[in-house]
Amino acid sequence: MSRKGGSSTLLREFPDFEETMQSLAAMERMPRGVVEECREAVALARRFNRTVARNYALELDRRMQEDPAYLPWELVEEANRWGFFTMWIPKLFGGKGWSLSSIAPFVEELASECLAITNLIGVHYFGFSILAATWNVRLIDMISREVAEGERTGKPCLVSGAVTEPEAGTDAEEVELLARARVRCQARRVEGGYVVNGRKIFISNGHLSTWHILIAYEDLERPDETMIAFAVKNGTPGFSFGRMEKKMGQKGCPASELVFEDCFIPDEYMLVAASRLEEMGLLSRAARKAERGPRELGMQLIDFVVSATRPGVGAMGAGVARGAFELALQFARETEVGGKPLVNHEWAQCLLAEMYVNAALARLSYMEANYANSMHGMARLLGFKPLYYYHRALPTSVFDRFMPAANRRDAVTTAFRLLVVAGQGEEQERVASGWASLAKVAGTDLGVRNCQLALELMGQAGLRHDRRAEKCLRDAKLLQIYEGTNQLNRLNIFKCLVAPAAPEAQVFQD
């Protein structure tokens, strides 16, 4: 055996070297401009925190406790003025086209001040991610341009993502479970479109959004094979808002019920349908491997989205881990215990160091997942150096002149789907999704942990609303639940990253 050949085989054994070292592989491929963009994004978030969030966060939380039905439009408008809702929409579609790698550090920074505000801004990109994952270029272009128009005119246009149903939460995050799920949101094919009936719950920003990216199912007996996505605009007859939840934390970001009663959605707002892969130009990948069909496409769609968004939730965990750490540090500096500042007690120094470590570990995890997603996920093409620089250098106006017309053509959608959707290998899907879950679980558990530690250190002071720490804990707990509970994410880590070492293992069978 030659030495060289020998090592590469060795390195492919579990745990696969490339798979465990995402950053090493990513570094050489990464355009240098990305670093600068990350810097600028964090600086911008810091500026926003200082000028807006710091004062407003507590006031908003208090206000929501008093009046849980309050809708914080002034926050939406402020974030809109800061340009946050188009920053990560590609220029191709009328956005500002910041590198997707810069969103997670931005999110961490915002989250170090207030998770509710962070979610209100971040979840717009969750909605946008579902839209983008369908690679329906015509609709992505149309809705993105409305978001950009809303920014110009000062009339915010946000996008929500509606997946969860009263009887299907975890089940909606994984096709294996979806196959057995009790979903109720049904899209029935009719002349010229679909009629949708059902309810979606816990939809972040529901009441504040203009567009809602809706996941429904054509056959409730076979939801895993008949997933279908729509773009639904406010005012569509048959679509209305239901209740707003009373949450423990992240109060500034509403969680809404969306109600669909014989809601007619014309064909032109259908984004993608798993049952009609051929028409969608999505069969080529399935054809390559006989066992990949509508169900696999459904999972791929879910994985596209969560591989992009779960590292973001991990970054929120890193942010709140930092926020709690910073409050604890400040407390330790201000508080005298036994005749000297708390910060001079050795045990407190070790505790603060542990909290610093927790925040750093959370950050490392989401960065690693970010690398995985930028190499393997749905926006991996934008990371190619030539494309990256081309996209970054050209002013938006140039894109605006040519792209809308092109984007309206079905051929463009087909081409993108071929490249991005069909072109993604199963390995790529697996690695991006696994790392995303890892970052989500690690970041959110560490985030909650640091909040617990901060409150322990601060005692009575930590309990007071006006000292901020208690809000961190209330806000942070949600991170372990949405974007798939940490249990579902652990199972996904097993499925994606561990099971290759145990090929006989069956997941979701128990």
Partner 1 sequence: MIGMSEELRLLEGMARDFAHKELVEGREERDRYPFAPLFEEVLAKAHEVGFFTILSPEETGGAAEPVQALCLVLEELCREDASLGGAVFTAALSQELLRQSGSEEAFKKASAGAASPREVLPAFPSFHNPSDTPLSLQAVEEGGAYRLTGKAEFVVLGNVASLALLPAGSADSGWSLYLVDLRGEGVEIGEPLLSLGLHACPAVDLLLHGATGELVGEEGKGEGYFEAAVDRLSVAAAAASCGVMKGSFETALDYARQRIQGGREIVNWSEVRMILSSMAVRAKAAEMLVRRAAAAVDAASPGWALASRAAALQVQEAATEVTCDGIQLLGGNGYMQDYGQEKRFRDAKQLQALLGTAPLRKLRYIRRVVDGERPWA
Ligand X SMILES: Cc1cc2nc3c(=O)[nH]c(=O)nc-3n(C[C@H](O)[C@H](O)[C@H](O)COP(=O)(O)OP(=O)(O)OC[C@H]3O[C@@H](n4cnc5c(N)ncnc54)[C@H](O)[C@@H]3O)c2cc1C
Binding-residue pattern over the window 230 to 249 for ligand X, x denoting contact by CB under 6 A: -----------------x--
Residue of the chain from 110, 488, 496, 497 that contacts ligand X (CB under 6 A): 488
Residue 239 β-bridge partners: 260
Question: With respect to partner 1, which residue has the nearer C-beta, 76 or 478?
Answer: 478
Between 62 and 138, CB nearer to partner 1: 62
Give the span between the Cα atoms of 177 and 171, in whole angstroms. Answer: 5
What's the CA gap between 164 and 17, in Å, rounded? 36
Q: How far apart are CA 110 and CA 341, in angstroms?
A: 29
Q: Which does 163 bind (CB under 5 to 8 A by kind): ligand X, partner 1, none?
A: ligand X
Q: Is 169 in the site for ligand X (CB under 6 A)?
A: yes
Residue 278 binds partner 1, judged by CB under 8 A: no
403 binds, among partner 1, ligand X, none (CB under 5 to 8 A by kind): none
Cβ of residue 146: shortest distance to ligand X, in angstroms?
19
* Residue, CB closest to ligand X: 169
217 vs 99: CA distance, rounded Å:
33
Identity at 6, one-letter amino acid code: G
Any contact of residue 444 with ligand X (CB under 6 A)? no
Instruction: Using the rule CB under 8 A, give the single segment among 10-18, 107-115, 345-353, 425-433 that binds partner 1.
Output: 345-353
Query: Please, which residues bridge with residue 263 across strands?
Result: 196
* Contact pattern from residue 157 through residue 196 relative to partner 1, giving x for each residue in contact according to CB under 8 A and a dash for the rest: -------x--xxxxx-----x--xxx--------------
Task: For residue 178, report the phi and psi dihedrals to the nearest 5 degrees.
Answer: -60, -35
Looking at residues 103 to 162 of the shown chain, list those that interact with partner 1 (rule: CB under 8 A). none
Return the range that interacts with ligand X (CB under 6 A); candidates 16-24, 34-42, 196-204, 350-358: 196-204
d(CA 429, CA 503): 17
Residue 219, both tokens:
């056959």
For residues 388-418, one letter each, b for 16 or more C-beta atoms within 10 angstroms of the residue's C-beta and e for the rest, the string is: beebbeeebeebeeebbeebeeeebbbebbe
The only residue of 60, 137, 163, 329 in contact with ligand X, by rule CB under 6 A: 163
Check binding of 252 to partner 1 (CB under 8 A): no
- Contact (CB, 8 A) for 126 and 255: no
- Residue 189, helix vs strand vs coil: strand
d(CA 303, CA 310): 10
**Count of residues near ligand X by CB under 6 A:** 22
- Closest listed residue to residue 443, CA positions, set 353, 350, 369, 497: 369
Task: Give the residue, chosen from 99, 129, 164, 413, that forms a contact with ligand X under the rule CB under 6 A.
Answer: 164
Are 414 and 281 spatial neighbours (Cβ–Cβ below 8 Å)? yes
Tokens 């969680």 belong to residue: 255
**What is the CA angle 205-208-210, rounded to 5?**
105
What is the x/- site pattern for partner 1, positions 467-496, by CB under 8 A? ---x--xx--xx-xxx--xxx--xx-----
| Cβ closest to ligand X, residue 163 vs residue 328 | 163
65 contributes a contact to partner 1 by CB under 8 A: yes
The correct pick among 26, 44, 107, 162 for binding ligand X (CB under 6 A) is: 162
Work out what residue 291 binds among partner 1, ligand X, none; the CB cut-off runs from 5 to 8 Å by kind: none
Q: Would you call 164 helix, strand, or coil by DSSP?
A: coil
- DSSP letters along 263-292, please? EEEEGGGEEEEGGGTTTTT-HHHHHHSTT-
- Under the binding rule (CB under 6 A), the answer on residue 485 touching ligand X is yes
- The yes or no reply on residue 327 touching partner 1 (CB under 8 A) is no
| By the rule CB under 6 A, 161 interacts with ligand X | yes
Tokens representing 59 are 């006031």
Does 482 sit near ligand X (CB under 6 A)? yes
Which of 42, 83, 170, 264 lies at the binding interface for ligand X (CB under 6 A)? 170
3-class SS of residue 253 = coil
Q: Exposed, middle or buried, 67 (CB in 10 Å: 0-12/13-18/19+)?
A: exposed
Q: Which residues lie near partner 1 (CB under 8 A)?
A: 62, 65-66, 164, 167-171, 177, 180-182, 201-202, 245-249, 255, 335-337, 347-348, 351, 448, 452, 455-460, 462-466, 470, 473-474, 477-478, 480-482, 485-487, 490-491, 508, 510
Q: Which residues lie near ligand X (CB under 6 A)?
A: 123, 161-164, 169-170, 173, 177, 202-204, 247, 255, 478, 481-485, 487-488
